């Protein structure tokens, strides 16, 4: 009789935990505001992360991605002489407070997406996309990359395990 009571109590507790109501604070939500929408030559989020940085003054967060060529070079070299075929892309988002984590910040809408494509020794193409949806606003190609392209090529890879 006692074991029957324990079994019934266990069943009641188990069934009580299976209610249809879910706590809205723990429901998984995707941050769709941070999605990249527009006329991009490729999806930078499919590349491998090379480094990231935060600009507190402008309240932005940026992540640099690279294709396999760029990622391998960044991991094994500290200079900015990427080989031909390397493609670096930087996505810059505005920041917003994370409603689920006190003191945390998450990406907001994208502010800019930049691409640097190395086509030969010292030759690179730079493209910048802005707006909503993202549209090309700058494009520079040549032997002497512009200041922004040079800055992006000079970024060192973050130390990762």
Whether the pTM exceeds 0.75: the reply is yes
For residues 12 and 88, is the Cβ–Cβ distance under 8 A?
no
Q: Tell how strand 105-120 and strand 123-130 pair up.
A: antiparallel
107 vs 83: CA distance, rounded Å: 31
Residue-wise pLDDT tens digits, 142-158: 776 788 999 999 999 99
Residue-wise pLDDT tens digits, 106-126: 999 999 999 999 999 889 999
- DSSP H helices in 33-129: 68-76
Domains in the chain: boundaries: 32-154
144 vs 107: CA distance, rounded Å: 33
- DSSP H helices in 55-155: 68-76, 147-153
- Output the six-digit token pair for 32: 């769709």
């Amino acid at each position: 009789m006692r074991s029957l009571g324990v079994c019934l109590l266990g069943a009641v507790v188990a069934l009580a935990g299976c209610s249809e109501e879910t706590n809205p604070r723990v429901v998984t939500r995707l941050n769709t505001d941070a999605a990249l929408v527009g006329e991009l030559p490729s999806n930078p989020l499919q590349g491998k992360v090379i480094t990231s940085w935060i600009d507190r003054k402008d309240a932005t967060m940026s992540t640099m991605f690279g294709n396999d060529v760029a990622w391998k070079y960044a991991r094994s070299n500290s200079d900015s002489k990427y080989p031909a075929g390397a493609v670096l892309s930087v996505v810059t988002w505005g920041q917003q407070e994370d409603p689920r984590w006190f003191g945390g910040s998450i990406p907001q809408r994208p502010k800019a997406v930049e691409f640097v494509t190395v086509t030969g020794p010292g030759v690179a193409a730079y493209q910048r996309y802005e707006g909503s949806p993202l549209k090309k606003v700058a494009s520079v190609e040549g032997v002497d990359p512009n200041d922004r392209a040079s800055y992006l090529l000079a970024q060192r890879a973050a130390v990762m395990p």
